Structure 1
Amino acid sequence: MNKKIKLGTLLGLVVLQLMACKTQKQDTIISLTNASDILLTDKPVVIKRNQFSNTISSSQFPLLLIGTDTIPSQMNDIDADGNWDELFFVINFSANETKNIQLKWIDTKPSYEVKTSVRFGKRSSKNTPVQPATDELLLANEVHKALGYQPYQTDGPTWENDKVGFRHYLDGRNAKDVFAKKTAAITPENVGIDSVGGVEDNYHVMHDWGRDVFPVGNSVGLGGFAMLINDKVERLGITTNDTLNNIEKTTFKVTAEGSVNSILSYEYQNWEVSGNKYQAQETTSIWPGMYGYKNTVSLSGLKGNETLLIGLSNINNEKGLNTVNVGDWVCLIQHDKLTYERQWVMGTALIIPKTSFKGVMEAPKEGQLTNSYLAKFKVENNKPISYYAIAACELSEDKNFIDSEYFTNYVVNLAKQLATEINIEIKN
């Protein structure tokens, strides 16, 4: 009888130990440290899947907790293989602060307030309605002038957060435009579509949410890119009246769309310039809290005489360009009535890396790419360059952006925050 009791006690202890081990595998502590002396607001944190030592079921979802407070997060599948690659969230830090986050894996996907979004739609003919899409393949002879109609809602994809919105002219022009948002809410899905589903430019008039405010013309807008070859500016793509693209195939994909992060990717295959064919890749990422987006560009097929150009449209700028060095960054800042008909005050900026930066030039007065400041970069095959494009208008919820000094201080402080690395320690 006593042997049975002892055996039962031992079995019970084994079960408790197994349960404890299982709990340890499920619960993880993420220790994050801001070792800098500056405040960090909506600081993005990316943790790769392979940084977690424990096995994670593909059917489970992360729940991040500090005490009883939940931190919105999402899992991104960057390589589109059906399995998530990274855990993404944003978080605030005081100076020299360490935060310990409890990570639990749960069976039901949490729901969070949506603070980022991508909107993309296409119609297959002039007389068919726009349908939502998450990817696209555009051939050189399929640009809107050759087709005789605009196939894309808002001329291409738009992306936004709670502060500002942008759009990319996927129709061959590859310029980037700005939507000034008056509220933090995500803009309606039917922007750029009429009542019967056709493509309509209805976003250059004021709505409760805001409007497109940024004139682009033949520039590449805010953050588009080009190349300088033998002292000639070469555009990635075409202008609105061209019928044949200089890019053989453009592939677009919404890589991620979630409450705290949206990512768009582009591949430009056989971009023909001066008899050479280049390959280019572009990745655009946005998260809450920032009046801007991150862009990463990579080129291949380079011969050695090329310079990467990153564009900052200067249409309606009568006050010139302000250049500010901030650590490892260079901030190119302009602030004026940069909007249509100089109706509203807006600041735009590029936050670019000092590494490989070769100065700024102005685009030609005539040609395929005009009306721009162009940041020049030494570029190497398959070596990505990441930068940030910033836009803040007096129409936004923060009315202080009407002031030039306020906008400059915002850009400089943002550059400092972006340069600050967070130390990540995973305790399984």
Structure 2
Amino acid sequence: MKNIKLILGVFLLSSLVTLAQKSQNNKKTYAEISVKEGGKWEGRKYIGGTFKNVQKLKLAPEHTDHSFDIRYEGPGWESNKIGYRLYLDWRNAIDIFGKKTDAIVLPQVGQDGFDSYHEMSDWGSDILKAGKGIGIGSIDRYLNNERLHFYEVDSTLAKVENKSKSSAVKINYYGWKTAGEKIDFTSQLTIASDQRHTQHTIKASKAISGICTGIVKQKNTEVFKKVSQNKRWAYLATYGKQSLVPDQLGMAIFYEVSTIESEVNAEFDHLLVFKPSNQTVSFYFLGVWEQEKDGIKNKEAFIKYLDEKLIELNKKGKI
């Protein structure tokens, strides 16, 4: 009898593990943040150690760009269509991982070298050069013809959440100081199954001018703009041979017209400057890469896709 119970127990455990593996394999979204443990700080560089995924992270005071303590420099999130990452430092830019597969890939990105993801692999690669720009859909502050970065922040807390049909990254910036003004700021980035777009929900503790988002300027691109039939929603988009490959990449931001104070053709970016507010504001951003599995491969298909999303926003107020 004991042997039968043992066999049944082993079988049950094996079945549960198999079901868990199948569930993970069937997931279409994922978010993570991976930090090094077991090493040490030498100045502003983290030496040694191995990566471990965590659910939340308080940014080390030593951390800056290229500190080597966070795998691919910040949190990442993906759907079965595309992936994104946020530089969790003064740059605060969002980058794009182009995917040639519909499988979850982020757990393997950057494991074999700090910036190995810049080289094309079976799953894809980093395809956007943010450079001195804002990347796609991230947050900054624009005053007096200058983008003010996240140089001075008292503390930064990042969390990730994975649900059955969506994944999210939430960042809390406490004491973000720019131009003599200090605020707390929250940023939540959510991606859903079978979608390319990320919903970006932001909130400032104080209504200040200049909070902005945008799309980094690249060569060989066209800019497209359109407003929905009900005049509530609009998009700003770019398309062209602007990926790092280089090949065709489209980027777009969908926003509520009433939340925007101005559009700015800045030196490095196409910017959307929000009206001062301490209320929650949501917008959407997305990338479309020609090498994506069953992807959009030309300008005409890209515009058609954007227009369909705009019609959806016009009807439902969300996508």
Give the aligned length.
286
Letter paired with 1:212: D
Partner of 2:276: 379
Partner secondary structure for residue 315 of structure 1: coil
For residues 23 and 257 of structure 2, the distance between their equivalents in structure 1, rounded to whole angstroms, comes to 40
Q: 1:130 aligns with which of 42, 47, 51?
A: 51
Partner of 1:310: 213
Q: Percent identity?
A: 24
Matched, 1:161 2:57: no
For residues 319 and 201 of structure 1, the distance between their equivalents in structure 2, rounded to whole angstroms, comes to 26
Letter paired with 1:215: K
Summarize the Cα distance change of 1:139–1:153 in structure 2 as closer, same or farther, 3 Å threshold.
closer
Matched, 1:142 2:54: no
Partner of 1:287: 192
Q: 1:247 aligns with which of 126, 149, 153?
A: 153
Partner of 1:319: 221
- Assess if the C-alpha contact under 8 Å between 1:314 and 1:338 holds in 2: no
- Assess if the C-alpha contact under 8 Å between 2:145 and 2:266 holds in 1: no
Structure 2: give runs of 5+ residues left out of the alignment: 1-19, 40-46
Summarize the Cα distance change of 1:302–1:233 in structure 2 as closer, same or farther, 3 Å threshold.
farther
For residues 329 and 300 of structure 1, the distance between their equivalents in structure 2, rounded to whole angstroms, comes to 25
For residues 251 and 260 of structure 1, the distance between their equivalents in structure 2, rounded to whole angstroms, comes to 24
Partner secondary structure for residue 180 of structure 1: strand
- Runs (4+) off by over 6 Å: none
For residues 419 and 262 of structure 1, the distance between their equivalents in structure 2, rounded to whole angstroms, comes to 25
Structure 1 vs Structure 2 CA RMSD: 2.1
Partner secondary structure for residue 413 of structure 1: helix
Matched, 1:345 2:240: no
Summarize the Cα distance change of 1:111–1:418 in structure 2 as closer, same or farther, 3 Å threshold.
farther
Partner of 1:100: none
For residues 188 and 143 of structure 1, the distance between their equivalents in structure 2, rounded to whole angstroms, comes to 22
Summarize the Cα distance change of 1:259–1:345 in structure 2 as closer, same or farther, 3 Å threshold.
same
Q: 2:126 aligns with which of 212, 215, 218?
A: 212
Partner of 1:407: 302
CA positional deviation for 1:301: 3.0
CA positional deviation for 1:158: 0.9
For residues 52 and 109 of structure 2, the distance between their equivalents in structure 1, rounded to whole angstroms, comes to 13
Summarize the Cα distance change of 1:283–1:419 in structure 2 as closer, same or farther, 3 Å threshold.
farther
Partner of 1:277: 182
Summarize the Cα distance change of 1:188–1:354 in structure 2 as closer, same or farther, 3 Å threshold.
closer
Pick the structure with greater CA Rg: 1
CA positional deviation for 1:259: 3.3
Letter paired with 2:159: K
Letter paired with 2:297: I
Matched, 1:179 2:97: yes
Letter paired with 1:378: K
For residues 158 and 208 of structure 1, the distance between their equivalents in structure 2, rounded to whole angstroms, comes to 19
* TM-score relative to the length of structure 1: 0.63
Partner of 1:259: 164
Summarize the Cα distance change of 1:135–1:172 in structure 2 as closer, same or farther, 3 Å threshold.
farther
For residues 93 and 105 of structure 2, the distance between their equivalents in structure 1, rounded to whole angstroms, comes to 21
Partner of 2:17: none
Summarize the Cα distance change of 1:248–1:234 in structure 2 as closer, same or farther, 3 Å threshold.
farther
Partner of 1:362: 265
For residues 172 and 301 of structure 1, the distance between their equivalents in structure 2, rounded to whole angstroms, comes to 20
Q: 1:330 aligns with which of 234, 239, 255?
A: 234
- Assess if the C-alpha contact under 8 Å between 1:157 and 1:170 holds in 2: yes
Structure 1: give runs of 5+ residues left out of the alignment: 1-107, 238-244, 365-370, 423-428
1:278-321 deviation line (CA, Å, top 9, x unaligned): 21110110001221211011112335xx13211211123x3342
- Assess if the C-alpha contact under 8 Å between 1:220 and 1:313 holds in 2: yes
Letter paired with 1:338: Q
Partner of 1:118: 31
For residues 209 and 258 of structure 1, the distance between their equivalents in structure 2, rounded to whole angstroms, comes to 23
Letter paired with 2:49: T
Partner of 2:292: 396
